Structure 1
Amino acid sequence: MSSSFDADSPSNLWEYSVSELSGSIKRTMEQTFDQVRVRGEICGYRGPHSSGHAYFGLKDERARIDAVVWKGTMGKLRFKPEEGMEVIAVGKITTFPGSSKYQIMIETLEPAGAGALMALLEERRRKLAAEGLFEESRKQLLPFMPRVIGVVTSPTGAVIRDILHRIADRFPVHVVVWPVKVQGEGSGDEVAAAIRGFNALEAGGPIAKPDVLIVARGGGSLEDLWGFNDEAVVRAAAASDIPLISAVGHETDWTLIDHAADRRAPTPTGAAEMAVPVRADLEATLSALTARLRGAAGRHMDNRRHSLRALARALPSLDQVLALPRRRFDEAASGLVRGLVSNTADKRRSFERVGAHLRPDMLAARINDRRQRLLERMVRAERNVERLIARAGTRVTSADAALRSLPVRLLSQIHRSADRLHGLSGRADAAVIAELRRARSAVTAQDRVLQSLSYQNVLARGYAIVRDADGAPVKAAAALSTGQNVALQFADGTVGAITTEGTPAKTRKRGSAEPAKQGSLF
């Protein structure tokens, strides 16, 4: 120890260093308050630090104490700290020598009674309701006949068995179960992740996307159902594009997800009944509607048939319909002759009135007027021709000057074209020679292939071709008859032969020295 007792000092108090005094206070505090239970209101909470630890304070009406929750303990807490939440904390008191402060290291944390939980729940409900998450206008209608149902619940409880059994009884459809924890630490995060996961599925993917979701859990206390009051669960349910049914607890149990869901079921079995209709009832209703439709169609046809017959009896006969048009036609035909005579007389009088105005002096005046107009147009035409001739003369002069300079330009172009033609001629000769070489090589290669495949080379190796009287090759001995004239073609010529009787070559035994008689030649 660095502490000492100074005999020269006027006081007999023991002398400590700062570190010794701080360490002694720390040991005293930890030994005296090794395990304490403190009730207070959380203040100064800003969420976990980047290290994962949480630092805040606990206060009442007259005092405040610093508190810390280490990262390892934070993940085990059933209830996460929230600003203004009244809690009961269990832990140990320790000091921080660096700043001469003391604090409580919290090991467990719980709300201060059911009343505190209800107050917290009510405060959270008001907050989320103010954001519009519980508005009826946001809620969707459930599909009448879903093809796929997604269920978010525990895979081992009685809830999933009740839901599956009820769906199978009413209307069997495909059910996809997303297993989650429904109680304890992390249950709210798992439920929220399951809702978001179902919404993230793609239609037509390996896992069918549900048409409706059921979030279910059996009954329990407020603490047991607290995971479904989690803010993340409520937000995930409100943001779900898939219609969602909440079936948490019994009929008297209410959680915040019930307000955000599109429908609330009193029990998980009730959720299954909401999700699908009764197949037998649908079939009975369909049969009844089919019978009613057939009866209505029959009655409608009978009514139409009676109406058609009544209308047919009310229709007039053909003579009655044509009587009036016939009379009008007769009257019009009788008045046609009178109308033609009257029209001819009117045309004649009109012609006479017009002819009275056609006098010689009027015709002469009109001719003189037309002659004067023609003379004026001829004068204007002569002036236009003179202007056109002047313009053409100007263009001829310009063209003459251009033609005088044309031979020089033509000569230059001819020289350039000659040089270009000479170059192209050389390239053409080279191209023709190269093409002839390639063609000669190709012909030589084809000739070698032809020589290798020619039957004449086979004849040169000692073989012969048997031809009949028409010169066609004989391919089998069975094609020849006795005494038939054949020709044997060798490499150096052709020899005539006659066939004799004998045994076909294919009937000889292997190893026999007897030659075949049939097909033999001499």
Structure 2
Amino acid sequence: MSSFFDNDSPSNLTEYSVSELSGSIKRTVETAFDQVRVRGEISGYRGPHSSGHAYFSLKDDRARIDAVVWKTSFSRLKVRPEEGMEVIATGKITTFPGSSKYQIVIETLEPAGAGALMALIEERKRKLGAEGLFDPARKRPLPFMPRVIGVVTSPTGAVIRDILHRISDRFPVHVVVWPVKVQGEGSGEEVANAIRGFNAFEPHGPTPRPDVLIVARGGGSLEDLWSFNDEIVVRAAAESRIPLISAVGHETDWTLIDYAADVRAPTPTGAAEMAVPVKAELQAQLSGLSARLQGSTLRQMDQRRQQVRALVRALPSLDQLLALPRRRFDEAASGLGRGLELNTLNKRRSFERTAAHLRPDMLSNRIAERRQMLNERMTRAERTVERLIDRSKSRIGRADAALASLPSRLKSQTSRMRDRLANLSRSADTAVRHQLVRARGELSAQERMLQSLSYKNVLKRGYAVIRDEDNRPVSEAAMLPAGSGISIEFSDGRIGAITTEGGEPPAGARKRGARSAEPKATEPRPAASKTADPTAPPKQGSLF
């Protein structure tokens, strides 16, 4: 009996493993809190993760709970989470067994009342205004008479009918409608895509590019007009190269697109009135201007006619204009006969004076003088040729004497050049040796630097290089799907491998590895040529 009381008695409680206990808690919490609505302030939000999921916390003044929005739910959220935003989150409570934490998996997210929406609008207004999207200097005037008008609105509402009816009454033009949702999930993206789509039209494409855009919607509550406070819509309106008219809601309704648009209209009908003028008024104005232009033209013609008549009266008559030229013509005609006679007489006298000098004896004397001059010049030329011949003979004699002494001078010059060439050869050998020593030192330094930077030194420390089937290095595991062939380079060679799910070796691979601990012999790689090794220092040859 003493031995029985000395030992501890076993407990009747069921024994659980940590995984079983965590799983039981997870099922209990998810069953008890399958669908909950939690109100709190978003904290720690840094945008969606690279995986597409969003992680943050909901807090109030006394508690805090982790929250997660999966990728599939995040794309369907009407309101995107923002840091410090008070929201009402709907979802379910679950646990994370890996760290013994509980969290809410959010499926829908909405602002916590109109006050939160107005605070969010004001925050976005300050943010976008600081970026200059609401700057009045960047707003453009509307075209006076557009040929094509683009309308972004719902195709089934009364808004599009009011706009088309008003444009048809005032000034019928071509209207292109881009149908979009103006309320609900995805409406903001559709409005932004419509604005960017109109801007992407070619000026002379199959669908004409609008000269002005109208973004319109009927009146509604703040939640109904929330799509036009979306940041993507405001940025699309600010980036639009086509002048844009915002006609969202009634005259008392204001949205952020009204600040980014070039012009805000109080109603969709008012936007149609701003877009086109009244055709009847233009016709009446044109008729008035045409009548004024016609009257001004007639009055100006009368004034010009009177001025021409006055100028005609001031001009002299035809007889007065031709009197002086006619008198000059008569005087010139009367003196023409006498002038011809005097000119003939003068020419005859000049001919007689010239003919008096042309006698045979004068020509004979001139021929004799020319012959004598020619003989004198021939005599001078002969004496000049003789002097040149004498000079050439003397130069040839001096050249013969110089050629006789040429071999001795050539020998002395050859000796001096041979000595000079020997000195230059010794200097060149010394310079080449110094250059080779310096080049070998620089090459050795470059080789040491190359060895220190080579990735093969890293491989010797136990690392490896993974390459895919195209022999390209792989830096991330996500780049290799399961079943891909890879090669692993170690410091002493390469081996091949096949990737698996989760990084676990295939069945039986660990046992086979246990039976043979020695690494597989790698196939010997073909020896590279010594001349092809980039790290081997180049051989130094002699210059002689």
Q: Residue in 2 aligned with 1:235?
A: 235
- Partners of 1:200 and 1:45 in 2: CA distance: 33
Cα distance in 1 between the residues matched to 2:114 and 2:320: 97
The 1-side partners of 2:101 and 2:355 are apart by 133
Structure 1 match to 2:260 = 260
Kept after mapping to 1: 8 A contact 2:163/2:268: yes
Give 1:293 shift: 2.1
Q: Secondary structure at the match of 1:197?
A: helix
Give the letter for the 1:145 counterpart: M
Unaligned runs of 5+ in 1: 1-6, 377-522
- Using the size of structure 1 for normalisation, the TM-score is 0.59
Alpha-carbon distance between aligned partners in 2 of 1:28 and 1:109, rounded to the nearest angstrom: 25
Residue of structure 2 equivalent to 1:18: 18
Q: Please tell me the residue identity of whatever aligns with 1:56.
A: F
**What SS is found at the alignment partner of 1:213?**
strand
- Whole-Å separation in 2 of the counterparts to 1:234 and 1:103: 34
Aligned pair in 2 of structure 1 residues 193, 338: CA closer, same or farther (>3 Å)?
same
**Residue 276 (structure 1) aligned with residue 276 (structure 2):** yes
- 1:163 and 2:163 aligned: yes
Relative distance call for 1:284 and 1:375 in structure 2 (3 A) is farther
Q: CA deviation at 1:85?
A: 3.6
Q: Structure 2 vs 1, CA of residues 303 and 106 (structure 1 numbering), >3 Å: closer, same or farther? A: same
Using the TM superposition, give the Cα deviation of residue 315 of structure 1 relative to its aligned residue in structure 2, in angstroms.
Answer: 1.0
Which residue number corresponds to residue 145 of structure 1? 145
Query: Per the alignment, in what secondary structure is the counterpart of residue 166 of structure 1?
Result: helix
Shift of 1:231: 2.6
Amino acid across the alignment from 2:180: V
Distance 1:192 1:342, change over 3 A: same
1:36 to 1:160, Cα distance in 2 relative to 1, 3 A = closer
Question: Which of 287-296 and 127-136 deviates more?
Answer: 127-136
Structure 1 position 223 matched with structure 2 position 204? no
**How many Å separate the matches in 2 of 1:327 and 1:350?**
37
- Indicate if the aligned counterparts of 1:58 and 1:64 stay in contact, CA closer than 8 A: yes
Which residue of structure 1 lines up, in the alignment, with residue 42 of structure 2? 41
**Equivalent residues of 1:42, 1:81 under 8 A apart:** no
Q: Is the 8 A contact 2:148 2:211 kept in 1?
A: yes
| Matched residues, number | 370
| Corresponding position of 2:313 | 313
Please say if residues 42 and 56 of structure 2, whose CA atoms lie closer than 8 Å, have aligned partners that are also in contact: no
1:291 is matched with which residue?
291
2: CA distance, partners of 1:366 / 1:304: 84
CA distance in 2, matches of 1:16, 1:239: 62
Which string of whole-angstrom CA distances, capped at 9 and with x for unpartnered residues, describes residues 418-454 of structure 1? Answer: xxxxxxxxxxxxxxxxxxxxxxxxxxxxxxxxxxxxx
CA distance, structure 2, for counterparts of residue 299 and residue 218 of structure 1: 55
Q: CA 1:292/1:372 → structure 2, altered by over 3 Å: closer, same or farther? A: farther
Q: Which runs of 5+ in 2 are unaligned?
A: 1-6, 381-544
Shift, 1:48, TM fit = 6.1
Residue 152 of structure 1, CA deviation? 1.4
Q: Deviations for 1:152-177, whole angstroms, at most 9, x for unmatched residues?
A: 11223232222122112212233333
Q: Name the larger-Rg structure.
A: 1
Preserved CA contact (<8 Å) 2:54 2:68? yes
**Distance between the aligned counterparts of 2:47 and 2:356, measured in 1?**
117
Equivalent residue, structure 2, for 1:8 = 8
**SS of the residue aligned with 1:8?**
coil
CA deviation map 1:187-211 (0-9, x unaligned): 1111122223334456677755544
Other structure's SS at 1:77 match? coil
The DSSP-based 3-state class of the residue aligned with 1:160 is: helix
Structure 1 residue 124 displacement after superposition:
3.3
| CA–CA distance in structure 2, aligned partners of residues 131 and 350 of structure 1 | 104
1:95 paired with 2:99, answer no
In structure 1, how many angstroms separate the alpha carbons of the residues matched to 2:251 and 2:378? 112
How far apart in 2 are the matches of 1:286 and 1:48?
A: 63
Cα offset for 1:216? 0.2
- The letter for the 2-side match of 1:162 is D
User: C-alpha distance in 1, partners of 2:105/2:159?
Assistant: 40
Instruction: Tell me the TM-score normalized by structure 2.
Output: 0.57
TM-aligned CA deviation for residue 251 of structure 1: 2.8
Q: Give the superposition deviation at 1:109.
A: 1.9
CA RMSD, Structure 1 to Structure 2 (Å): 4.4
User: CA shift at 1:281, angstroms?
Assistant: 0.5
CA shift at 1:139, angstroms?
4.5
Deviates more, 1:174-183 or 1:16-25: 16-25
Partner amino acid for 2:77?
A: L
User: Which one is further off, 222-231 or 312-321?
Assistant: 222-231
How far does the alpha carbon of each residue in 1:31-60 deviate from its partner, in whole angstroms, 9 at most, with x for none?
A: 77663523113423332654x543333456
Show CA shifts across 1:399-432 (max 9, x none).
Answer: xxxxxxxxxxxxxxxxxxxxxxxxxxxxxxxxxx
Matched, 1:176 2:176: yes
Q: Hey, what's the Cα distance between the residues in 2 that align with 1:18 and 1:47?
A: 32
Aligned-residue sequence identity (percent) comes to 71
Cα displacement (A) at 1:182: 1.0
User: Any residues of structure 2 matched to 1:10-409 within 5 Å, and which?
Assistant: 16-23=16-23, 25-26=25-26, 29-30=29-30, 35-47=36-48, 50=51, 53-58=53-58, 65-71=65-71, 73-129=73-129, 131-135=131-135, 139-201=139-201, 209-329=209-329, 341=342, 364-365=368-369
Partners of 1:42 and 1:86 within 8 A in 2: no
Shift of residue 286, structure 1, vs aligned partner: 1.7
Partner-residue secondary structure (3-state), 2:149: strand
Structure 1 Cα separation of the partners of residues 376 and 139 of structure 2: 95
